[in-house]
């Protein structure tokens, strides 16, 4: 089975027109597919209207009990169900799930080491049998960034980590491509120029670009994650803008492809 796993973030979800444009492309995306979404911006805004201010440490949300309730409502309720309704209108048989549903993703509350992140889960296990069962019935799973510990506790979990865990677990038996949509056209040579996309990056090129400080700060964990996914058997990792997703299936330049093999193997 060939499976595409596509992750979108708040920069798409927060803008109804962008989301509609993306979902239109996602509907046409060929083959078995899984959508993973976060929605942090909307959750922060909604929490603020309830008097629950977002508390971030190093770009990561501290999840107390009230914040957990808010992200559960916004991710697994409002965002997930509206995406599903829109996909159904586009004749895509979406099924919205948290990691608790069908025990799809079991995680473990992050241990306190200096910082207490609260109800944040680190992924332990993916139920690939159920995912395969759903895909075989031509369902399209849409996963929100909520998991559980199998002991009754929901846990807030990074959507990039969910997409990666799904991809690497499914890659053991299937050909899996992983697509990270974000707010840039790809990995850029000049971060101020959206046309300076680096079309392909392998480990050698990555090492070089880091040495020259072309790739820094927020891009580093993204690329580290991508290379880790490749090492665990994922076929291809793509990074780019949600609105260019379909171009990527047509072999057109639309983002950055992270390659497993060294350049000299080609």
Query: Binding residues for its own copies, per CB under 8 A?
Result: 49-50, 69, 72-78, 80-82, 84-86, 88-89, 93-98, 100-103, 130, 133, 137, 139, 146, 148, 150-154
* φ and ψ at residue 165, rounded to 5 degrees: -65, -40
Q: Output the smallest distance, CB 151 to its own copies, in A.
A: 5
Q: Which is nearer to its own copies, 49 or 217 (CB)?
A: 49
Asked if residue 110 belongs to a known ligand binding site, the reply is no
Q: Output the smallest distance, CB 262 to its own copies, in A.
A: 43
Residue 113 CA to residue 178 CA, distance in Å, equals 31
Q: Which is nearer to its own copies, 83 or 197 (CB)?
A: 83
CA-based nearest residue to 246, from 65, 19, 28, 62: 28
CA-based nearest residue to 80, from 33, 13, 25, 29: 13
Asked if residue 11 belongs to a known ligand binding site, the reply is no
Q: Output the smallest distance, CB 117 to its own copies, in A.
A: 18
Q: Which is nearer to its own copies, 76 or 215 (CB)?
A: 76
Residue 255 CA to residue 245 CA, distance in Å, equals 8
Residue 81 CA to residue 7 CA, distance in Å, equals 16
Residue 45: partners with Cβ closer than 8 Å, 6 or more residues away: none
Strands 175-181 and 146-148: unpaired
Q: Which is nearer to its own copies, 95 or 246 (CB)?
A: 95
Q: Output the smallest distance, CB 170 to its own copies, in A.
A: 18
For the record, the structure tokens of 58 come out as: 């190093």
In angstroms, the Cα distances linking 31 to 28, 98, 114 are 9, 22, 44
Asked if residue 195 belongs to a known ligand binding site, the reply is no
Q: Which is nearer to its own copies, 39 or 186 (CB)?
A: 39
Residue 61 CA to residue 53 CA, distance in Å, equals 11
Residue 179 CA to residue 22 CA, distance in Å, equals 13
Asked if residue 39 belongs to a known ligand binding site, the reply is yes
Q: Output the smallest distance, CB 106 to its own copies, in A.
A: 8
Detail the residues annotated as belonging to a binding site for substrate. 39-40, 61, 156
Which residues make up each annotated binding site?
A: 39-40, 61, 156
């Amino acid at each position: 089975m060939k499976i595409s796993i596509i992750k979108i973030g708040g920069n798409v979800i927060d803008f109804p027109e962008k989301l509609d444009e993306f979902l239109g492309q996602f509907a046409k995306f060929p083959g078995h597919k899984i959508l993973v979404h976060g929605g942090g911006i909307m959750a922060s805004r909604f929490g603020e209207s309830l008097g629950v201010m977002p508390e971030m440490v190093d770009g990561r949300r501290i999840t107390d009990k009230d914040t957990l309730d808010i992200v559960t409502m916004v991710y697994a309720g409002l965002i997930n169900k509206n995406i599903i309704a829109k996909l159904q209108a586009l004749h895509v048989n979406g099924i919205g799930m948290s990691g608790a549903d069908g025990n799809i993703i079991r995680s473990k509350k992050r241990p306190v080491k200096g910082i207490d992140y609260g109800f944040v889960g680190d992924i332990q296990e993916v139920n690939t049998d159920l995912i395969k069962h759903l895909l075989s019935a031509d369902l399209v799973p849409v996963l929100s960034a909520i998991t559980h510990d199998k002991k009754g506790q929901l846990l807030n979990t990074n959507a990039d980590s969910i997409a990666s865990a799904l991809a690497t677990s499914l890659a053991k038996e299937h050909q899996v491509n992983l697509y990270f949509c974000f707010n840039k056209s790809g990995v850029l040579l000049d971060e101020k120029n959206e046309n300076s996309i680096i079309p392909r990056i392998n480990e050698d090129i990555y090492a070089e670009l880091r040495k020259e400080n072309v790739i820094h700060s927020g891009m580093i964990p993204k690329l580290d994650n991508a290379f880790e996914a490749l090492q665990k058997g994922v076929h291809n990792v793509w990074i780019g803008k949600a609105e260019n997703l379909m171009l990527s299936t047509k072999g057109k330049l639309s983002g950055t492809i992270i390659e497993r093999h060294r350049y000299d193997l080609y």
